[in-house]
Amino acid sequence: MSDTRKKSPAKAAGTGGNTEEVRRKPAEGTRKVTRKKSTVKTAKAAPKKRPAETDKEFGGPERLYNFADDVTEKEAAPEESEEREVRLETWVTFGLAGELFALPITAAREILRVTKITRVPHAPYTVRGIVNMRGRVIPVIDFRLRLGLPKGGKGPQSRILMTSTRNRFLGLLVDHVDQVVEVDRNAVELPPDDVMTDQSEYIIAVSHVEERLLILLDVEKVLLIPDSLETANSGAGAL
């Protein structure tokens, strides 16, 4: 017991005696190591995560090829957006009930002033009548009625837009013909699904022209009259 008590203070004293010396000597080394570690952490803190993420994302024997593909795609992305292909098409625009519509210029033949339109008994609801164009009889469709818009009378700006589709000539009575424009088909927007129905499949897309919405129409589909439209207006004639 006496030995234990003697050794314990001696051990403590020895430890205490060497503590300063031990601390002094490693102190300088500790400070140096600390500086190195601090420098290493500071210098490698940001990139330290990148190799881990890279290994995780581009693992496997083909990681170099995958990494090269990824870098190439990221570099090419801005160029692709800047060099987006432009596909210009020419359309003729016209107005109906305050809205702006368009048909491909390839379907338009000429624009006629509205003169006399002869009514035809028992003609389909949307047919306004017929006109004589240089000795050729042409049926005229009231385009307001075809698109389900309110009926309108003939005005000074009213025109008959002559179209050709399926080897037939048809005249479209519109409120006015606006202009011929070029539309980038790769920049148009599809109409929202919630406004599209089986009866509006003739709408191709929506574009912007001079801060106005332009509705692009499929000339063939828009001249297909659904039975529902004809049945709902049977007996009613275009005035």
DSSP-derived secondary structure for 139-187: EEEEHHHHTTPPP----TT-EEEEEEETTEEEEEEESEEEEEEEEETTS
Which CATH topology does 88-232 take?
Answer: OB fold (Dihydrolipoamide Acetyltransferase, E2P) (2.40.50)
Over residues 110-152, the pLDDT tens digits come to: 999 998 999 999 999 999 999 999 999 999 999 999 999 998 8
pTM: 0.62
pLDDT at residue 226, as a whole number? 82
Find the largest Cα–Cα distance for the chain.
139
pLDDT at residue 82, as a whole number? 55
Q: Which of 104, 118, 107 is nearest to 162 (CA)?
A: 107
Tell me the pLDDT band of 200, cut-offs 50, 70 and 90.
Answer: confident
Domain ranges of the chain: 22-82, 88-232
What is the strand order of the sheet 176-184 is part of?
176-184, 88-96, 99-104, 212-217, 203-209
Could you tell me the two tokens for 95?
């107005």
Could you tell me the two tokens for 49?
């995560």
Q: Find where tokens 């379907």 sit.
A: 107
Q: Which residues of 53-75 are buried (b: 16+ CB within 10 A; e: fewer)?
A: eeeeebeeeeeeeeeeeeeeeee
